[in-house]
Structure 1
């Protein structure tokens, strides 16, 4: 409908120019008061159509059909007043038929063909020809041939413009549908992974509990209590078992959910500070540099999925660069920007092109590549994005962009930092 409105404005300007040239330039008498009245009706209808789509965006086939019928009626009236079927602009009927073929359903398209043919026949029967020199030996000096040339150019230009616009809209729709199908497939993949993770977590609960009991019994045995080195290793084993149990509990809490089921009220600074402290205590990271330049703090709601998303990126960076990892937090308008930088080998070019696709990894292990896949999908669910690039001096940077509105406790109200 928007395209029809644009074409109709072009038609109004074209008719004003044509009537002026024919009447005042060629000296051919035209019933100006009636033709300008028809133009006024066309302008009023176009304004009404514009207001209609501003009130409600959905347009039905019947509405487009009625709009094209009114265009045909206006064109027929103007042709009747300016020579009938002998008017060279009678071929503008073809434009109406082509528009109907592109925009309307099959039965309304054929109805439009019949209506335009009937209008053409009616003009031939009842129209009064204008006194135009039709001799072809005058070449382009003949007003009739000049009119046909202008009509041809107008038809061609409008058709190219219209078909190009429609083709662009169709390509955009196809791309959007392809993205939706891809997203649906990825979300189905995540659901399957969540089910598998939940099942694995239940299965791991029993052996982890058994290990915890055995390690507790070992802690009272003389062989371990009398040997400080063995006691230290036993304590480390118990800590790792507790960590495994905590991970399993987290999986059972949020498996299959884009956001966890245990949201916690906090602030951006506290959330990131606590996350970094927890990550440092549970990973064998020699060096983690942390720079929080978020600015004025604000209250948010955090959950396990949000925390795990950032931890996944840090884990990948640590695996690629065991000696140096850096995390920077900044604010860009209404977005939280988190940059995770490492000093590793960087991403292969083909991975940068397919970032976030499942099983895209340079590690060469079965099942690898799921970390970034989950990170991208969680960020997308929150309305954010994930980008990656290689640094010229080596290593890579993964940038998480998260809209604060998606996690804010109070979207507009910030609080002072502690």
Structure 2
């Protein structure tokens, strides 16, 4: 993955962490207000005497925590451990209040479940389950160690041991189910967001191809006509008596014709790079002939030994266009530029899918190339326009319904694997 993407992703996560901490701070202020109101109501209006000093001390801890967070949140990144630590303080303060006001007989004991839900939403799975275990243990501890709470006559009641045991079991079961399903829902939402981000990335890449296509089409229209005119003029010059009688002029004329042809080929490559990847000079042939022809033509241009390993049974008839051929040629060129001296194109079947592998013994792929496979202009080469080989391969194979993967081989060198359904290039039976 490019460094810019990593930095952007880290920044988004840190921003989300800060917003979550601020939301927890708001919730904590609400808890402070609610506890103060409840203490004032019970102590001063109902007349039930509460240990005000320790209870107000617990509230003071929450206030101090919020003030400290307000000073820190904008300066330091918020980690999973930091969030878990703040929740531990909340749980400790709630436990203190419950211990001083009736233990599990206090109806607010169910607020432990709020901590479980918050942990399941904001923290990693192991921290969520740690919160479930902690709150379940504190529930049991309060049931056993919390001192009796004196209530006015007519208000007092006692809870039986079986009822307390059942309440603990009910609390633990509820906490486990909440953690299980909330974490599952959060995971599903995260996976959905990841798929949506991948679709957006793909749409951006395809939009990039469209823009390249518009630019290339304009260039082709502008340059194609004068090149064709020059080719016609050069053909006419060959018949001029003065030129036909001069071997030197004929040789120079042939060089000019070769260069014009090369320019026209370059225009074709530009059109291919722009995303016009289908229907470009389709050829009816067989699969073996098509693949061996690509390797043979490439060997003739580079004078480098490239092997073709045909590991398939059968030789189906196909309709091959220049897009797929150029994709394989680009990968062979990349292998050569990576320092490969033993380069091979291997083909085999995987069910009804054709698998093509280009292997070399060169330098292999840099980690950034593997992480950003198929991104345009992502290359270790410095020349202008570098990095389009794998980008075009990904988009050509995507058009054919296939996939592209790359890896570094354990014995050295790199390998790019193309997988596509044979139906995408096979010739219809009625036209065979």
TM-score for both structures, normalised by structure 1: 0.57
Name the CA distance, whole Å, in 1 between partners of 2:375 and 2:183: 33
1:363 counterpart SS class: coil
| Stretches of structure 2 lacking an aligned partner (at least 5 in a row) | 1-106, 122-156
Quote how far apart the aligned CAs of 1:232 are: 5.4
Quote how far apart the aligned CAs of 1:167 are: 0.6
Name the CA distance, whole Å, in 2 between partners of 1:327 and 1:272: 8
- Superposed CA deviations along residues 244-277 of structure 1, whole A, max 9, x for unmatched, are 3255357669954453365444432232233334
1:306 counterpart SS class: helix
- Superposed CA deviations along residues 342-391 of structure 1, whole A, max 9, x for unmatched, are 34433222222222111111111233212221111222233322222334
Question: Which of 351, 364, 367 in structure 2 is aligned with 1:333?
Answer: 351
> 1:384 corresponds to which residue?
402
| Stretches of structure 1 lacking an aligned partner (at least 5 in a row) | 1-87, 103-133
Moved more, 317-326 or 359-368: 317-326
Paired residues for 1:172-191 under 5 Å? 172-191=191-210
- Superposed CA deviations along residues 113-143 of structure 1, whole A, max 9, x for unmatched, are xxxxxxxxxxxxxxxxxxxxx843x5xxx22
Name the CA distance, whole Å, in 2 between partners of 1:383 and 1:301: 15
Name the CA distance, whole Å, in 1 between partners of 2:384 and 2:273: 24
Shift in alpha-carbon separation, 1:168–1:385, aligned structure 2, 3 A: same
Shift in alpha-carbon separation, 1:236–1:398, aligned structure 2, 3 A: farther
Q: What is the Cα-based RMSD across aligned positions, in Å?
A: 3.7
**2:223 is the alignment partner of 1:204:** yes
**2:157 is the alignment partner of 1:167:** no
**2:168 is the alignment partner of 1:149:** yes
Quote how far apart the aligned CAs of 1:170 are: 0.1
Shift in alpha-carbon separation, 1:252–1:360, aligned structure 2, 3 A: closer
Paired residues for 1:398-413 under 5 Å? 398-409=416-427
Paired residues for 1:52-201 under 5 Å? 135-136=158-159, 142-201=161-220
Moved more, 249-258 or 164-173: 249-258
Name the CA distance, whole Å, in 2 between partners of 1:406 and 1:170: 34
Name the CA distance, whole Å, in 1 between partners of 2:358 and 2:338: 12
Name the CA distance, whole Å, in 2 between partners of 1:152 and 1:255: 62
**2:379 is the alignment partner of 1:361:** yes
1:193 counterpart SS class: helix
> 1:292 corresponds to which residue?
310
Moved more, 235-244 or 159-168: 235-244
Shift in alpha-carbon separation, 1:393–1:169, aligned structure 2, 3 A: closer
1:368 counterpart SS class: coil
Shift in alpha-carbon separation, 1:197–1:335, aligned structure 2, 3 A: same
- Superposed CA deviations along residues 73-96 of structure 1, whole A, max 9, x for unmatched, are xxxxxxxxxxxxxxx9xx9xx99x
Shift in alpha-carbon separation, 1:298–1:223, aligned structure 2, 3 A: closer
TM-score for both structures, normalised by structure 2: 0.55
Given that 2:280 and 2:323 are in contact with CA atoms closer than 8 Å, whether structure 1 keeps it comes out as no
